[in-house]
Amino acid sequence: MPELNPQNIGLSASGLLLFRGERCLLNHLALRVAPGEGLVLRGPNGTGKTTLLRVLCGLTLPEEGDVHWNGIAIRQQRNEWQRALGWSGHKAGLKSELTVRENLEFAAALAGHRPGDIPAELGLAECLDLPARVLSAGQQRRSSLARVLLGNALVWLLDEPYTNLDTQGQAYLNACLDRHLAAGGIAVIASHGNAHSALGMTEQTLMNGALQ
């Protein structure tokens, strides 16, 4: 492992180029998020916010460019990167036949740590022992976020986390984000709401394949 240059710590990407058919979704895009910083991706529907997040977490390979974690390309250190990563996408990632508790326990075991207590503020107390298929859209979103919020990932990549959340849920998510960033974590969020208030959050708009 090369020596850690303070310039390199955190999540960065350079020269990301990605086409979907004829459209250029990411046009030599570069970004950098240091520990304790958050980045909110804005932009109209269809500009590629989700695609950018999927490239950052490593699900989608860009045609050119690389995503770096602490200065090393993530595809060269997949294991270290995935240990640092917490991802919550469009789809909830819950097994419909398992209860919320079982889903969270499985997620914790998969991430390699013991399941912790589930705080009341999460608002899932009544449905912990219900199968995930009977949950409302908001409860599913909460359960899906809980996997990241209760885990010990350093980098949170959240795609539209405020969708379907009520005001109490949004406030809880904001509090979690504040705490995460204060502890030196990193968050990249795609969102078009303006619910978040966290310190250290910068907003950038994805337009024509570049951040502005």
Partner 1 sequence: MIAPVWLLLQREMRQSFRRWSDLISPLVFFVVVATLFPLAISPAADVLRQVGPGVLWVAALLSMLLSMNRLFRDDYEDGSLEQLVLAPQPLVLLVLGKVLAHWLQMVLPLLLLTPAVATAYDLPAEATWVLLLSLLLGTPALSLIGGITAALTVGLRQGAGVLAVLLLPLSIPVLIFGSRATDLAVTGMDTTGPLMLLGAMSILAASLAPFGIAAALRVSLD
Residues that bind partner 1 (CB under 8 A): 57-61, 79, 82-83, 85, 87, 89-98, 102, 106-107, 109-112, 131, 144, 147
The distance of closest approach from Cβ of residue 171 to partner 1 in the complex, given in angstroms and rounded to an integer, is: 25
Q: Closer CB to partner 1, residue 81 or residue 198?
A: 81
The distance of closest approach from Cβ of residue 88 to partner 1 in the complex, given in angstroms and rounded to an integer, is: 9
Burial label, 211 (beta-carbon count in 10 A; 0-12, 13-18, 19+): middle
**What's the CA gap between 186 and 182, in Å, rounded?**
10
**What's the CA gap between 143 and 148, in Å, rounded?**
9
Q: CA nearest 166: which of 188, 145, 147?
A: 145
Q: Closer CB to partner 1, residue 42 or residue 142?
A: 142
The distance of closest approach from Cβ of residue 82 to partner 1 in the complex, given in angstroms and rounded to an integer, is: 4
**What's the CA gap between 198 and 178, in Å, rounded?**
5
Q: Closer CB to partner 1, residue 87 or residue 198?
A: 87
* CB neighbourhood size of 108 (10 A): 17
Distances (CA, A) of 169 to 44, 83, 125: 24, 26, 13
Q: Closer CB to partner 1, residue 80 or residue 121?
A: 80
The distance of closest approach from Cβ of residue 210 to partner 1 in the complex, given in angstroms and rounded to an integer, is: 22
